[in-house]
Structure formats: C-alpha cells, structure tokens
C-alpha cells in the first residue's frame, strides 16, 4: 500500500516508523513531514488543511490509505473531502472532530450521555462570565471554546488570574476560538491519557499513557504541548479502563452515532482520576504528542492493521497484541519554548545513536540548513524514545540518548516518569 501521513511532528514520525514496519506498507508519503520522516519515506510540501489540495496529492501519489495526524485538518473537514473522493482515510470528519474543536460541544455530549465531567457554564460576554467566576470562587478553570494550539486553558488558582484570562479571551487573543468561553469547576486528582480506536460502531481500547504538560521539572512553569510521556500509565488499571469505557467512552460514541455523526478514528480522552473514579477533562480526536511516541514503540507494525480496521469498519474482529513492556519519551525543546526561542542551531550526536525497535529519536521541529545539517526549527524539536522491560530501564535508555544529542539552546525535563517511578 501507498500510505499518506498528514503532519510534521514527532507523533507523525512515530506513526510513519511503526506503519513502515508492516509488510502491507510499500511506500510512505508524508505531508509536509520532517527530516526524520524523510529517512523512512518521501516528504512533500502541502497545505494539509486544504482538502482539495490533499485530495489532489493523494491522487498524484496513488495513495491507498491516508492517516491524519493533527487536529487542524480534521477540524477543517479534510477527512470528509478524502472519503468523498474515494480515499480510505483514518480520522473523523468535521462533525465528529467537534469533540476536540469545541469544548462547549463536548460538554453538551457529556450532558446528553451522562459521562462524568466537571460542572460548567458557557458565556459569550465578559461581564456575566466575571460575575459567575466571582460567585464560584477559585480555583476555577477558564477555557476558550475553540482550538487554540493547546494555549486556550487557564487553571486559575485565584480570581485575579481567572479574570485576566477572561479579559484576554474576550479581547480576542484566540480570535474566533474565544468567541465563547467554558468556565469549569477545578478537578483534583491525577491525569491520564486514554486512547480508544473507533470505527463508528465498535470501540477498542488501544492504550494508556501519561504526559508531562509543564515546561520544567517538578511540574513547574508554563503549560506546553507536552514535555515527555510514558506508556502504560500505571494508574489506569484494568478495572479503571473498564469503568472509563462503560461510563465515558461508550456513552460518548453512542451519542455521536445517534446524532448521525459517528466517530471514526482515535478518541483520546484526557482523564482526571480521583479515588479510583474517572472524570473527563477533554477529548482530542487524534493521537497525543508526545503520548503517541511510546505507544507506537510498544505497538510496532500492528498499528497499521488496527488503523485500517478502524477506517474500514472492521474493529469488531481486531485485537491489540500487548507485550509486557514499557516505553518512555523525553522531549528535547528549544530554550524559551513555549514562548519565543532561537532557531537554526546545528544539532549534533544524532548519527551515533543506534536506532532500533527499542530506541528511536523521533523528529518534530527539525530542519536542514544549506549544508544539509539538521537544525532546530520548532519549539519541540526531538523526542528521544526508548522501550524496555521496566519503566526505569526505558527511562535510563531514553536519557542516555538525550545525553548524546547537543545543540546550542537545548532544554528538556530531567524527571520524565517521576510519578510512576
């Protein structure tokens, strides 16, 4: 098969790496891809939110299967355009992608399906939103309704922070994504990422992971897209997975189907676990980044069969083969991230790393300079990922890789995995 992967992050590199191990895969085309993916397949420039352009590229490259990595093309309806043009595609259409693209929509679905989630209210104007916050008190959580590249949520420990967040959103810092605000009760507990494949009828639990959202060690500093992750998440026991399926995932998928917009793709539930009970913090309609990297390292070649089964509606017959292993990814970032950072420093040490099925450096924001050297071009640059029989061995192996890689201005968290270790 010729397989087109949309996206350019370490998530997409890990997907390409695992998919390419499956004998069904003849060729990987990635759009726009990155220098790491270019070692596995062909990268082509493309505006991946432009459905007509993606369909044209799929025709030109005789694509048999399209895997959509990030949320933006899903929210833009690119999966609908591909399916309408006859391409087998993994990922929800625009209507089902609302589970990530609108926090208010997700709350409506939770209300209708009874899935446990934080109490909330919705506002389109500043004054009533501030009055509500004053009445509820802090801590409280302020969320721009729409997509905001992971920056639309403020967990406010005091009222002044909550009010500033509301003022910013209604002043338009997130554009149309902030036309509406969801204000939520603060949930206490431990967070976990839970991934479920759905073909619209059948849901298949795929795996669990834990992310590290804050920039610095000890969960300090600003929120980021994620600075490291490991899989499995020990907090997600079999009983808790079962309970999450019954109380949250299955009711959500049934509600989506009853609305005539069944969900096909990977549903990523961000959960808060307290006293053994799960609550939904948010849905994403794609794999997490960096959670995807340890998941792909653990799943390997079978991921292609699973994604195909979801896209074809055959999940009822599919099984996930799990080994008793652990994987962990450490994100190496450009110092300054998630705010401004310098680009263009040459990255050394990559050649010496023996990449194996247990050890990979997945590329995110890398680029090539005129001399053909790999440089940092984004905030999150590399994800050093390792697998072993224990989490501590996987961590040690991932940090050995990190220690071998250098560029001027690199930073990373030293404590990935601390909660589970």
Tell me which residue of 362, 236, 354, 241 sits closest to 292, measured CA to CA: 362
Shortest Cβ 185–ligand AMP spacing (Å): 6
Q: For residues 101 and 146, give the distance between their C-alpha atoms in angstroms, rounded to a whole number.
A: 5
169 binds ligand AMP per the rule CB under 6 A: no
Pairing of strands 410-411, 120-123: unpaired
Judged by beta carbon, residue 107 or residue 387, the one nearer ligand AMP is 107
Total number of residues binding ligand AMP (CB under 6 A)?
13
Tell the residue number behind the tokens 């079962």, with chain if given: 242
Among 141, 271, 327, 332, contact with ligand AMP (rule: CB under 6 A): 141
Residue placing its CB nearer to ligand AMP in the complex, 139 or 367: 139
Q: Pick from ligand AMP, ligand GLY, none: which does 141 bind, CB < 5 to 8 A by kind?
A: ligand AMP
Closest CA to 89 of 3, 201, 191, 170: 3
Binding of residue 178 to ligand GLY (CB under 6 A): no
Contact track, ligand GLY, 213-232, x by CB under 6 A:
------------xx------
Query: Choosing among ligand AMP, ligand GLY, none, which partner's interface includes residue 191 (Cβ < 5 to 8 Å by kind)?
Result: ligand AMP
Peptide bond into 15 cis (omega under 30): no
Residue 185 · residue 118 · CB < 8 Å: yes
Distances (CA, A) of 139 to 62, 75, 108, 144, 186: 53, 31, 23, 17, 6
187 binds ligand AMP (CB under 6 A): yes
Query: Whole-angstrom Cα distance, residue 304 to residue 22?
Result: 7
CB of 225 to ligand GLY, least distance (A): 6
Residues numbered 274-293 forming contacts with ligand GLY, rule: CB under 6 A: 284, 288-289, 291
CA distance 366 to 37: 11
Based on the shown chain and the rule CB under 6 A, indicate whether residue 247 belongs to the binding site for ligand AMP. Answer: no
- The yes or no reply on residue 264 touching ligand GLY (CB under 6 A) is no
Residues 153-172 that bind ligand GLY (CB under 6 A): none
Residues that bind ligand GLY (CB under 6 A): 211, 225-226, 284, 288-289, 291
């Amino acid at each position: 098969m010729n397989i087109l992967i949309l996206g350019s992050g370490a998530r997409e590199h890990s997907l390409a790496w695992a998919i390419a191990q499956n004998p069904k895969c003849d060729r990987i085309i990635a759009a726009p891809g990155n220098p790491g993916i270019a070692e596995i397949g062909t990268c082509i420039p493309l505006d991946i939110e432009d459905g007509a352009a993606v369909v044209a590229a799929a025709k030109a490259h005789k694509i048999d299967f399209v895997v959509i990595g990030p949320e933006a093309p899903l929210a833009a309806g690119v999966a609908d355009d591909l399916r309408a043009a006859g391409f087998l595609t993994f990922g929800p259409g625009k209507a089902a992608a609302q589970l990530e693209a609108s926090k208010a929509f997700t709350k409506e679905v939770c209300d209708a399906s009874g899935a446990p989630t934080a109490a909330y209210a919705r506002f389109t104007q500043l004054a009533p939103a501030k009055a509500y916050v004053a009445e509820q008190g802090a801590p409280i959580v302020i969320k721009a309704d729409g997509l905001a590249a992971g920056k639309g949520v403020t967990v406010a420990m005091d009222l002044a922070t909550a009010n500033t967040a509301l003022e910013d959103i209604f002043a338009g810092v997130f554009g149309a994504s902030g036309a509406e605000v969801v204000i939520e009760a603060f949930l206490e507990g431990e967070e976990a990422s839970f991934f479920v494949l759905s073909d619209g009828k059948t849901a298949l639990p795929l795996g669990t992971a834990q992310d590290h959202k804050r920039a610095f060690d000890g969960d300090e500093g600003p929120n980021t897209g994620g600075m490291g992750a490991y899989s499995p998440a020990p907090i997600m026991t079999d009983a808790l997975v079962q309970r999450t399926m019954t109380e949250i995932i299955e009711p959500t998928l049934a509600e989506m189907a009853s609305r005539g917009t069944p969900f096909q793709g990977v549903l990523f539930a961000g959960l808060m676990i307290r006293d053994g009970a799960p609550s939904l913090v948010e849905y994403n309609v794609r794999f997490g980044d960096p959670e995807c990297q340890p998941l792909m390292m653990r799943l390997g070649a079978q991921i292609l069969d699973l994604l195909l089964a979801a896209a074809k509606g055959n999940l009822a017959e599919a099984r996930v083969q799990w080994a008793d292993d652990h994987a962990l990814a450490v994100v190496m970032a450009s110092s300054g991230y998630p705010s401004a950072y310098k680009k263009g420093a040459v990255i050394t040490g990559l050649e010496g790393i023996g990449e194996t099925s247990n050890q990979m450096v997945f590329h995110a924001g890398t680029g090539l300079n005129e001399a053909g050297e790999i440089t940092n071009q984004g905030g999150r640059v590399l994800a050093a990922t390792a697998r072993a029989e224990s989490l501590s061995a996987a961590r040690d192996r991932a940090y050995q890789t990190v220690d071998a890689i250098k560029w001027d201005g690199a930073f990373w968290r030293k404590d990935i995995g601390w909660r589970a270790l």
